[in-house]
A and B are shown apart, each in its own frame.
Chain A
Amino acid sequence: MPHLRRAELDDIALEAADDALMSVLRRLDDFRGLSRFTTWAYKFALYEAAVKLRRRAWQQREVPMEQDGWDLLSSMSLQPDQEVEQAELLATIQRAIDLVLTPHQRRVLIALAVNGVPIDVLAERLGTTRGALYKTLHDARRKLRRQLATDGYSLGSPLEASQ
């Protein structure tokens, strides 16, 4: 986070530590002893710090509009130096987004996947939670994959490459 001053980082760290301590105390009864206590406790601190840093980094920034991401996808599929197969896949994905996604699914997918808005930032702006947004993203991706399969695309999983 090079754009943050040292004092700001210290503030975020202190605030995150306070919030993490509250979370640990509130959820102490949930600790099942299936991991080390330190690992369990650290995850609250890291979560609080990560969410605060992401939100702080976007505090003064406008979340890009859905149209920006849509235009970016269109321009990529029309670029002359883009491989033909890649351009076709992008165009097919765009058609599928138009065809099968609800307006909310489309807005969430474009913001997270194309515009690169962190999920915690989008959750804050939309007044929802990371879990709820990810569910929307997951449902959108599933619908897109199903539509692409209908269109004749055989899509593997990125996990297959690493197995």
Chain B
Amino acid sequence: MTQPAFAPLVERLLGPGATEIGCDACFDELDRYVDLQLLGQDADASIPGMREHLVGCPACREEHESLSALASQQA
């Protein structure tokens, strides 16, 4: 097995170390979060714990990136 880089490995092991929402709440709020970001509004203040969750969860982070890319084409 290939050795992972040290810093990302420790980050994956220890997580964001801050209060975060879970995957279900992330999915429920993801569209609002993305649209707030695209409008240039403070999405992090509107949905506390979302940014932290996206740091801690690679799957939700990937879906956030995909939805942001797709929704920005509709803006």
Is chain B's interface secondary structure helix, strand, loop, or mixed overall?
helix
A38 lies within 8 A of chain B by Cβ: yes
Q: How many residues of A contact B (CB 8 A)?
A: 48
| Given A35-B32, A141-B13, A50 contacting B66 (CB threshold 8 A) | yes
B51 & A39 in contact (Cβ 8 Å cutoff): no
Closest to B25 in A: A131
Closest to B3 in A: A76
A134 & B66 in contact (Cβ 8 Å cutoff): no
Task: Pick from B30, B35, B52, B63: contact of A159, CB below 8 A.
Answer: B52
7 additional A-B residue pairs with CB within 8 Å, beyond A42-B70, A119-B57: A34-B31, A39-B71, A46-B66, A93-B14, A120-B59, A134-B22, A145-B14
The distance from the CB of B74 to the nearest CB of chain A, in whole angstroms, is 5
A113 lies within 8 A of chain B by Cβ: yes
Partner-B contacts on A (CB < 8 A): 34-36, 38-40, 42-43, 46-47, 50, 54, 64, 68, 72, 75-76, 82-83, 86, 89-90, 93, 109, 112-116, 118-120, 130-131, 134-135, 137-138, 141-142, 144-145, 148, 155-159
Q: Which residues of A contact B22 (CB under 8 A)?
A: 131, 134-135, 138
Q: Which residues of B contact A35 (CB under 8 A)?
A: 31-32, 34-35
> Which of A83, A144, A156 is most buried by chain B, counting CB atoms within 10 A of its CB?
A144
Instruction: Report, as a range, how many residues of chain B touch the other chain.
Output: 35 or more
Q: Which residues of A contact B51 (CB under 8 A)?
A: 159
Is chain A's interface secondary structure helix, strand, loop, or mixed overall?
helix
Q: Which residues of A contact B14 (CB under 8 A)?
A: 93, 141, 144-145, 148, 155
A39 & B15 in contact (Cβ 8 Å cutoff): no
The distance from the CB of A4 to the nearest CB of chain B, in whole angstroms, is 17
Q: A118 CA to B61 CA in the complex, in Å?
A: 12
Closest to B35 in A: A35
Q: Mind listing 16 A-B residue pairs with CB under 8 Å?
A: A36-B31, A38-B71, A39-B34, A50-B63, A114-B9, A134-B22, A134-B23, A138-B15, A138-B20, A138-B56, A145-B14, A157-B16, A157-B17, A158-B17, A159-B16, A159-B55
